[in-house]
Amino acid sequence: MLENILKQRKTFNHIEIPEVNNILEQVNTDSGRYYKTPEGLLYPSVTTVTGIMNQKAIQEWRRKVGEEEATRISTQAATRGTRIHQLCEDYINNDEIDYSKYNYNDSLNFKELKPLLDNHIDNVRLQETRMYSDHLQMAGTVDCVAEWKGKLSIIDFKTARKHKNRDYILNYFCQASAYAIMFEERYNIPVSRIVILISVDNEVPQIFEDRRDVYVNKLMQVRQEYKEKYNV
């Protein structure tokens, strides 16, 4: 039954946009991930910068559960996130998917996501594309730039073990807002909407929609805090 559902698919329309030089060299450091721009500038990644928003809470959680257990959970979450991202990317790219490469939980989670992708996403501009902003002095890889319910949006795919409270994912909104600014700066195409789509284990997915401009001030504040802390 699950296999039959997954085999049913939509064909997504992809719209070509002007090519720009987004070739970025990844540089890993003790303070996080950086990217070197074509002009030779070194910018921290969006996730590295916004990561400081949850730094204290993560440290407290690691102390509570213990380093070994925290590492196990974090590794498991990162692996699950990579697999779900790949499923979404391949599906939206209209690629054939070999579901035998994924475990049952991955396929089950994707089954829950699939109707949302089918019903709300189309006219795709970019997927898994590195971008940067001289204004923000940040870089990163956007999950998807496409129309969501007919409006051009930044769409970010996340995974979670349980449902998230909106107040606890401010960093997700800041990340998506950063990608929207990067996209407009690089392609001269404004994107005012951001969508956070979270695949949740054994639960229905969560959808959070908002306007980019709601989070720009917070994003700039966090960027300044990171600069003061790491002098970058």
Contacts of 127 (CB under 8 A, 6+ apart): 89, 92, 93, 143, 144, 145
Angle 25-34-139 from CA coordinates, rounded to 5°:
85
> Above 90 in pLDDT, residue 174?
yes
pLDDT, average across residues 106-135: 96
The pLDDT-based confidence of 1 (bands split at 50, 70, 90) is: low
Long-range contacts from 93-98, C-beta under 8 angstroms, 24+ separation: 93/12, 93/14, 93/127, 94/11, 94/12, 94/14, 97/6
Residue 79 or residue 153, greater confidence: 153
Q: Which helix (H) or strand (E) holds 59?
A: helix 55-65
> Above 90 in pLDDT, residue 144?
yes
Q: What is the pTM of this model?
A: 0.93
Residue 219 or residue 52, greater confidence: 219
The pLDDT-based confidence of 74 (bands split at 50, 70, 90) is: confident
> Above 90 in pLDDT, residue 9?
no
Nearest alpha-carbon partner for 176 in 144, 220, 202, 223: 144
Residue-wise pLDDT tens digits, 188-229: 999 999 999 999 998 999 999 999 999 999 999 999 999 999
